[in-house]
Structure 1
Amino acid sequence: MASWFGDSVVALPRYLCLQLILFAFVAVIKVMHKLWWTPTRIQKLMATQGIKGPSYRLVHGNTKQISEMKMEAMTRPKSLSHDIFSHVQPHIQSWTKIYGKNYLQWHGSKAQLVITEAELCREILTNKDGAFQKTETRGYVKRLLGNGLTRSSGEKWAKLRKLANHAFHGESLKGMIPAMIASGETMMQRLKNHEGKEIEVYDEFRFFTSEVISRTAFGSSYLEGKNIFEMLMKLSFLTFKNALKPRFPGISKFIKTRDEVESAKLEKGIRDNIMKVIKKREQKAVNGEEDGFGSDFLGLLLKAHHDTNEKQRISVDDLVDECKTFYFAGQETTNSLLAWTVFLLALHTDWQDEARQEVLQLFGKQTPNPDGIAKLKTSKTT
């Protein structure tokens, strides 16, 4: 009995050791398969089809190279020119010269096929057959945009796209013009108060676009959406900051970086603030203060959320994600476009003079109107 017990005591640790060794061996094989074998195989396979690119590097792929190239580009003196591609995307400019218009690069162990050939870009963006699927949204991008219109596909995308089209078709946009004008007049008054001083136009346009989005899409003022815009800006900064930092799958479940903790707090804060806007609109509808939920973007989203037809209905998460997408994407894209346009007009004063002349001829000192805007030619070209 004692001998048998003794043998059992000795045999048990050996059995566990063998299990641990086997587990460790399998884990190493899986990691090497993901981090080395698969990338190497893909790289060779693409090369046989004429697609080449910078060599894959273990764990980081090409992210370190891209970061270094961007850092170097930002230290170079910048001339007053609209040709900034070499500063913004130096790796693409460099590698397209070496490997061709279409090449393979690596984000960690994930292969990325970069397409710059115009016809192929058009085919991919058109995507009539649905052959090009959107990648699953994860990490910081998931927290920033959720799974809204810009990230969804299939039936869900079609449902959300239909809502957006209905909210922003031609007649709806005409109805938004008075609110846009009011926001523009507020901005112009601020600019007059800084006459003769240097103005940071990017910040001014940020306030302007935020106000327009709040008024036209959500029926509120900039102050009501201020916290949402500010938190989205902070979250977008963290997203771009960590865009080139590959992480091992599942590691964030156990080890959280400071940025991950901060982004989780921001995501919750954004959701809570959007829900306040939603609840306020729902309460107005219940009290009879609104015609239903309203006819703006938020109103249409709420109608879809409360739709009796299950196929047409959208979830609370969809509702919040669409609000996040529009608050962020609408503001950032329009803001950047306006600031860039002003920069180009400052560089090319001849176009600036022509555009001003045309606006004065059509409108004089009157506020622009939809019919007159449709007649603009030079200003559209600029």
Structure 2
Amino acid sequence: MSIGAVLLWQPWRLIFSLGALVALWWAWRVLEMAWISPRRLGRALRAQGLRGTAYRFPFGDLKEFARLVGVARSKPMPLSHDITPRVNPLYHNVIKEHGKISVTWFGPTPRVIVNDPKLVGEILTNKHGHFRKRKFTNGIVKRLANGLVSHEGEKWAAHRKIINPAFHVEKLKKMLPAFAACCNDLVTRWEDHVGVNETKEIDVWPEFQNLTGDVISRAAFGSSFSEGRRIFQIQSEQARNVVKMVNSLYLPGFRFIPMQLNRRMKANTIEVEALLAGIIGKREKAMKEGNASNNEDLLGMLMECNIAETKEAGTAKPIMTMDDIIGELKLFYFAGMDTTAVLLTWTMVALSMHPEWQDRAREEVQRVFGDSQPDFDGISQLKIVSAQDNPKLVQTCRFHVDSKHMVLTLLGVQVAMILYEVLRLYPPVVQFDRQTYEEVELGGVRYPPGVTLSLPIVFLHHDPDVWGEDADEFRPERFAEGISKASRNGSRAFFPFGWGPRICVGQNFALVEAKMALSKILQRFSFGLSPSYMHAPFPVSTLQPDHGAQIMLKKL
């Protein structure tokens, strides 16, 4: 070989050597992740008496999970509230065979099911300080909503402090006209569809998705739903794609491989962030020129709080950057749409299945509001008294305050009990996951770093040991004395919005919106299940009806 050829070959040798090293590194990472680490973690858990499935290289229980889900979704379930076998048949089988604290395998990661309300409370309050969101999930979820749900540590605390004021009850009161306008549009459209002295079928699931998309567009940005429709469509698609990725086997660097799903999610992220940047830019310009409205929408309040907190911190750099604000707005859209839409959908289904509770709720709404528009002024006429002062009036109104988390809900008792019971039976998010990053003791078991603790909210909400033998029955009266006394022995076992410092900041928003919509519907319609309805709850991003929610409406 000539000297020139040797010199020319030298760079290629270096490139090939580096490529070989990268390939060896990647192969070692895969081996360590998919074989060495699972074996080590599995031995550590079994040594402490935990039972469950055995690790199967490399998918763990993913194949069995997919098979069971396919069987469950192949046909609708009977018309009952016993939904856990369909929602997560793998967990249902594992808990039944191995107990409430048992091990499954999400690919090579051990996932310990923690079906104990006391331990779930400890994990969600993070009293040990050793739990965090699952790292891989966070990387994927950031494409959907890079906001509070994915932040940790100081950044989470700073964002929470800025966002909290936007969801205080006084702020929500100012948003009520937007809620009312959207709900009025909905019931007017339904009235036009149903006509006089007729009964017509409507699939309320897409109707409520459109309603809540409209509400979040107006409440967050002061714009109509038509202006925010594209953001709504993108975020809905992103949610479905995130579920596909989260429920697949993870390999290092997988989300950077230019596969079709990755390319689609990246394109969606770019488009929605560009749309939101445009909305923010217009608002910033209006604020600088003094032309902004009262900034009583969520975006305005968020930007004002960000400015105030930045000034208080005495820094020139904003605490929340443009990218941070975009991330929170993406979260507003996702959480503001899906959570309330599924709550309203399952409430309509439940009240159709139990018409006696529909009648009781309608009677309460008519007693409080008559035919008038439900509003905070009407609600405030329900005086806040103790049971000793006026037991009869307390049956009309319930005022609940949790000072630690600034949770305040003012609702009629019948409606409140119904909404809580629907949230118990059909929680929007069926499970939360936390991951250990340091060794931690919980319930007498020492969990090493790298273990996922799966908190199966829907199973906790249906547990007969917690709620009684009627746990799968629709009994709103169990909440007659509030949440704390609804379950057996006063145990904290109701987690539809999470718990602890990371409890959903928008829960009041969702409940006020749901009460407004439900009140308007009860004022105008009676309803029941359509013969075409198929009961098929299944978790996508939230617990959704697999085949829609067909309801027969009749004008009152």
Same fold (TM over 0.5): yes
Shift of 1:82: 2.1
* CA distance in 1: counterparts of 2:215 and 2:192, whole angstroms: 21
Percent of aligned positions that are identical: 35
Judge which range, 113-122 or 15-24, deviates more.
15-24
Letter in 1 for 2:216: I
Secondary structure at the aligned position of 2:246 is classed as coil
> Which whole-Å CA distance do the structure 2 matches of 1:26 and 1:227 have between them?
42
Contact 1:163 1:300 in 2 (8 A): no
1:347 shift after superposition: 0.5
Q: Distance in 1 between matches of 2:71 and 2:354?
A: 29
The letter for the 1-side match of 2:268 is L
The question of whether the paired residues in 1 share the 8 Å contact of 2:216 and 2:336 is answered with yes
Q: Secondary structure, in 3 states, of the residue corresponding to 2:113?
A: strand
Taking a change above 3 Å as real, the CA distance of residues 36 and 179 of structure 1, as seen in their structure-2 partners, is same
Summarize the Cα distance change of 1:29–1:346 in structure 2 as closer, same or farther, 3 Å threshold.
same
| Structure 2 residue 258 is the aligned partner of structure 1 residue 256 | yes
Residue 355 of structure 1 is aligned with which of 361, 376, 382? 361
1:198 corresponding residue in structure 2: 201
- CA 1:202–1:32 in 2, change beyond 3 Å: closer, same or farther? same
1:288 and 2:290 aligned? yes
* CA shift for structure 1 position 260: 0.7
Q: What corresponds to 1:142 in structure 2? A: 142
Distance of 2:171 and 2:372 partners within structure 1: 22
Q: Report if the CA contact (8 A) 2:138-2:150 is conserved.
A: no
Distance 1:257 1:27, change over 3 A: closer
Q: Where does 1:79-158 land on structure 2 (aligned, <5 Å)?
A: 79-136=78-135, 137-146=137-146, 148-158=147-157
More helix as a share of residues: 1
Of 126-135 and 261-270, the range deviating more from structure 2:
126-135
Q: Distance in 2 between matches of 1:20 and 1:280?
A: 47
Distance 1:179 1:21, change over 3 A: closer
C-alpha separation between the residues in 1 aligned to 2:192 and 2:160? 41
Residues 283 and 48 (structure 1), Cα distance of their counterparts in 2 relative to 1, 3 Å cut: same
Residue 222 of structure 1, CA deviation: 0.8
Higher RCO (CA < 8 A, seq sep 6+):
2
Provide the residue aligned with 1:273 in structure 2: 275
Q: Distance in 1 between matches of 2:230 and 2:377?
A: 36
Structure 2: any 5+ residue segments left out of the alignment?
383-396, 398-411, 419-556
Larger radius of gyration between Structure 1 and Structure 2 = 1
How far off is 1:356 after superposition? Answer: 0.7
**Structure 2 residue 244 is matched with structure 1 residue 226:** no
Query: Do structure 1's residue 314 and structure 2's residue 316 form an aligned pair?
Result: no
- Cα distance in 2 between the residues matched to 1:24 and 1:335: 47
Structure 1 residue 38: deviation in Å? Answer: 1.1
- Number of residue-to-residue matches in the alignment: 370
Name the counterpart of 2:502. Answer: none
TM-score by length of 2: 0.62
- Structure 1 residues 26 and 370: CA distance shift in structure 2, 3 A: closer
Distance 2:24 2:321 in 1: 44
Does structure 1 retain, via aligned residues, the 8 Å contact 2:205–2:345?
Answer: yes
In the aligned structure 1, how far is the partner of 2:377 from the partner of 2:230? Answer: 36
1:45–1:185 distance in 2 versus 1, CA, 3 Å: same
Task: Please say if residues 30 and 251 of structure 2, whose CA atoms lie closer than 8 Å, have aligned partners that are also in contact.
Answer: no
Q: CA deviation at 1:265?
A: 0.4
Is 1:377 matched with 2:413? Answer: yes
- Distance (whole Å) between structure 2 residues aligned to residue 25 and residue 224 of structure 1: 50
Structure in which a larger fraction of residues adopt strand: 2
Q: Structure 1 residues 267 and 26 mapped into 2: Cα distance closer, same or farther (>3 Å)? A: closer
Residue 53 of structure 1 and its aligned partner are, at CA, apart by 1.8
